[in-house]
Amino acid sequence: MISGLPWDVAVIGAGPAGSAAAYHLAAKGRRVVMVDRSVFPRDKACGDGLTRTSVELLADLGVLEKFKSSTAITGAQLINRGGTHHNAPYRPRGPGRPGYGLVVPRIELDNILRKHAMAAGAELWEQFRATQVIRVGDRLDGIRGHRAGEQFDLRARFLIFADGGAGSVARQLGLGVANRMSTGFAVRGYYTDITGLEPVFQMHVPLTDPLDNEIVPGYGWVFPLSDTDANIGVGFFIGQQRDLTLNLRRLFDRFLVELTNREPGFAAMRRVGELRGAPLNCGLDPARSWRPQALVIGDAAGLVDPFTGEGIDTALESGKCAAEVVSFALDGHKPQRASLADYEHLLEQRFRDRFETGRKAIKTYFFTWKLLESTLEVRRPLFRALRETLLDYGTQEEARSSAAAGGTWSWLEPWTVLPFVQDVEADVASIIRAEYAILAQAAPTLVDPAGRLARIVMSLITSRYGRGDMQTARIVAAAVELGYLAQQVQFDIVEDKLPRRHSIGDSEPNWSNRFAIMVGAYLLAKSNSLLGELGAKPQALAGKTSAEACEAWLRERSYGRGRCPESVYLEVLPLKVGCFFGLGSRLSGTVNDLPELFVRALESFGNHLGIALHLQNEVKQLLDGGRSGDHPIIRLLESGSYSLPMLRAQLSNHLPLLMHQDIDEQTVEQSLVIVHESGALKTTWQLSLEFAERAHEAAGNLPDLPETQALLDLVSWLSEGSDPTIALNSPVPLGRASRSPVTPE
């Protein structure tokens, strides 16, 4: 049988990926049909965990309301063998965004999603098993399938394959995962009569094989459906040859024994229904994601996260991306052969880092696990960034989007500076990705976005004044960033006072410090070898700057914790911070043979701008609300660092309270109050404006060109103190409602 008029789009598979794509297309007024071999509601083996990202995507689909009765999950909890816990609470990632997760059985979730797509105008044909792509010459004309024993030909202008990990029709077009061998496996069961369940995603690591007690690259989960019921399961990925022989059921049984022995609340639980398992396909290859007229999304595209096994968020997001690209193509904006090529780039952009990180992490599972376990109770910036990257993939995207945050940086838009910044970030990531994918992904969160942008922009602007060699500007900017990151990582080397429980026999007590030292040296070496491409002179210049910065740090620290005089602090500031902002100009200017006067003015501009930004950041850190347990002040104190407001508050008052004591919540709270009441925030902010003014003066020595105007605009933006948390209504220390708001004004 042949259906009548061709559809705009036929979506094969009505799971989360297919329903999301169908919804977005139907909402744009496209004629879209979904086909699925099942009858809904249908079940699917899954942990049913909807992470915060998945929930955001459900909100985006306009369907979140339908899950009002489900328990809100407040965060993730990593539970190490040996009993240590690490909590990663969810918070909204922006105003009005949902800051929680959900656990919704797939029999319910998928049914709601497909109904939502249908309500938007999509049609669903159930019990339709797609079998073959229909071609007319070199064009695709639709999809052939069987329904109730009858053959159907369904004509459509575009096909979207969303038929899950086992889907095979897309392979007729060379789409989807090339290697059919699954990269992991997972199994789950529903359990009831549990007591003491908290609304968090529990992830238990490591899994061990009872046969030989070897660690297995995976985790066991408990995802609560209510305070007595949970979806419990285990999943693992194949990290080495040995893992191919693992038995999923054996791992699951061992996990249940450990769970019931360790946690009394699980002792009386019983299973409801069958265990269900399925492979996890994470072989994403964006180049195999599209052909003229056809796309592949969700599990069919190998979009299961290779470290965590999550695939619902990627299914929803790839469905949305596919709908955007197909809709654009339907409007005839692009030549037909290339009309869907943008989808490949979207997948690259959204998922490449995450998947590379995950694959790497699985291969080096011991290393990753050690990294997690050894550092869970440490608030050091590097480990914090790595941990967040492993536990929450929104981090990098967040850092990027805050760097690119519209208005603030619009002064540079005419020069399309943001693509340049992104290129440099991509260069930095690719330089360190080969060895440490996880570090590449975490790196952007280690530095403050405004500072990063300003440093990168200085290289760009110098190249604009010169011969405009963008390639050189990119190398310079990436090398400066790597050097700056190497400095930041030094904050992670701290006196190790925290008691730690190790469960791997060979853990070293100083592992975290060794790791931080190694990463710092590694980043510096990368920076150095990158500059080698430009010759010995830039290499020597950058080396000198790094050496001076180290000396400055040493000088400041030599006074002991918090005892550095303010005058010395201000003396070393240009050397340890400012110079990195001028370095890009110095290097670019040298390579491009720009006049010395010119380069000096730019360098001086960068140095002063850098200090202004640094001081403003010090104020913002102290104004930052948040829970006392992870307030930035603690990180500063643990690394033995002080910011200018703290030094000033200490002079005028009793901050020594913190100097030699163990840092507990009460002393932190008291110190914050002292800093706020000392007026040091205000005077530091004013000092930052003076440095901004000096930057302004330096720019006065530059020719009257649009580039110079942009630099001046940047200073004006800084001077206006445009950050609303500063200018208007700063949060109270530690978010206490009882205190009146504090501002440095």
Ligand X SMILES: Cc1cc2nc3c(=O)[nH]c(=O)nc-3n(C[C@H](O)[C@H](O)[C@H](O)COP(=O)(O)OP(=O)(O)OC[C@H]3O[C@@H](n4cnc5c(N)ncnc54)[C@H](O)[C@@H]3O)c2cc1C
Where does this chain bind ligand X (CB under 6 A)?
12-18, 35-38, 44-49, 128-130, 162-164, 167, 169, 186-188, 233, 277-278, 280, 298-300, 304, 309-313, 315
Decide whether 111 or 725 has the Cβ nearer to ligand X: 111
Angle between helix 16-27 and helix 312-330 axes, rounded to 10 deg = 30
**Least distance (Å) between residue 275 CB and ligand X:** 9
Give the 3-state secondary structure of residue 735. helix
Of the pair 309, 584, the CB lying nearest ligand X is at 309
Residue 604 DSSP SS3: helix
DSSP 198-252: -SSEEEEE-EE-TTT--EESEEEEEEESSSS-EEEEEEEE--SGGGGG--HHHHH
Running DSSP on this structure, what letter comes out for residue 181? S
Between residues 282 and 519, which has the closer beta carbon with respect to ligand X? 282
Give least dist CB 247 to ligand X, A.
15
Cα(376)–Cα(390) distance, integer angstroms: 12
Q: Cβ closer to ligand X: 48 or 263?
A: 48
* 143 versus 572: smaller Cβ distance to ligand X: 143
Minimum separation from the CB atom of position 407 to ligand X (A):
34
Distance of closest approach, residue 117 Cβ to ligand X, in angstroms: 12
Nearer to ligand X, 47 or 75 (CB): 47
Question: What does the alpha-carbon distance between residue 538 and residue 528 come to, in Å, rounded to a whole number?
Answer: 9
Kindly state the smallest distance separating residue 24's Cβ from ligand X, in Å.
14
- Between 282 and 382, CB nearer to ligand X: 282
Q: Give least dist CB 37 to ligand X, A.
A: 4
**Residue closest to ligand X when measured from CB atoms:** 311
Structure tokens given for 130 = 């797609």
Give me the least distance between CB of 16 and ligand X, in Å please.
4
- CA dist 38 to 12, 130, 368, 481, Å? 12, 11, 40, 52
Strand, coil or helix: what is 94? coil
Q: At 32, is the secondary structure helix, strand, or coil?
A: strand
User: Least distance to ligand X from the beta carbon of 194, Å?
Assistant: 17
Closer CB to ligand X, 222 or 280, in the complex: 280
Minimum CB separation of residue 307 from ligand X in Å reads 12
Number of Cβ atoms within 10 Å of the Cβ of 33: 21
Which residue's CB is nearer to ligand X, number 90 or number 420?
Answer: 90
Can you tell me the distance from the alpha carbon of 41 to that of 111, in angstroms, rounded to the nearest whole number? 5
Q: What is the DSSP letter of 2?
A: B
Radius of gyration of the chain (CA): 28
Tokens of 299: 């599990």
Closest CA to 153 of 175, 134, 173: 134
Query: Minimal distance in Å, beta carbon 53 to ligand X?
Result: 9
Q: How far is the CB of 423 from ligand X (least distance, A)?
A: 32
CB of 560 to ligand X, least distance (A): 49
CA distance 411 to 712: 10
Q: Which is nearer to ligand X, 230 or 609 (CB)?
A: 230
Question: What minimum distance in Å lies between the beta carbon of 312 and ligand X?
Answer: 3
Beta strands in 90-138 (DSSP E): 101-103, 123-125, 128-136
Comparison of 152 and 365: residue with beta carbon closer to ligand X:
152
Smallest separation, CB 69 to ligand X (Å): 19
3-class DSSP assignment, residue 89 = strand
Residue 124, strand partner residues: 34
Instruction: List 202's β-bridge partners, or say none.
Output: 77, 222
Q: How many residues does the chain have?
A: 745
168 vs 176: CA distance, rounded Å: 9
- Beta-carbon neighbour count of residue 107 at 10 Å? 14
Closest among 408, 412, 374 to 510, alpha carbons compared: 374
Smallest distance from ligand X to CB 164, Å = 3
Contacts of 681 (CB under 8 A, 6+ apart): 619, 622, 623, 645, 675, 742, 744
Closer of 280 and 530 to ligand X (Cβ): 280
Q: How far is the CB of 120 from ligand X (least distance, A)?
A: 17
Name the minimum Å distance from CB 201 to ligand X: 8
Q: How far apart are CA 177 and CA 467, in angstroms?
A: 45
Give the residue with the Cβ less far from ligand X, 58 or 361.
58
> Are 223 and 202 within 8 A, CB to CB?
yes
Burial tier of 658 (Cβ tally within 10 Å: 0-12, 13-18, 19+): buried
Q: Which is nearer to ligand X, 298 or 610 (CB)?
A: 298
CB of 518 to ligand X, least distance (A): 34
Nearest residue (CB) to ligand X, 300 versus 599: 300
Q: How far apart are CA 242 and CA 416, in angstroms?
A: 50
The amino acid present at 742, given as its one-letter code, is V
Task: At 491, list the tokens.
Answer: 């904050």
Quote the CA–CA distance of 296 and 460 in Å, as a whole number: 38
Nearest to 684 by CA among 728, 635, 739, 644: 644
Q: Which is nearer to ligand X, 187 or 429 (CB)?
A: 187
Rounded to an integer, what distance in angstroms lies between the CA atom of residue 359 and that of residue 353? Answer: 10
CB 606 within 8 A of CB 582: yes
| Secondary structure of residue 295 in the 3-state scheme | strand
Do you find a cis peptide bond into 744, omega within 30 degrees of 0?
Answer: no
Closest by CA position to 400, among listed 437, 447, 331, 463: 447
Rounded Cα–Cα distance for residues 18 and 20 (Å): 5
Closer to ligand X by CB, 38 or 528: give it: 38
Which C-beta is closer to ligand X: that of 38 or that of 513?
A: 38
- 3-class state of residue 305 by DSSP: coil
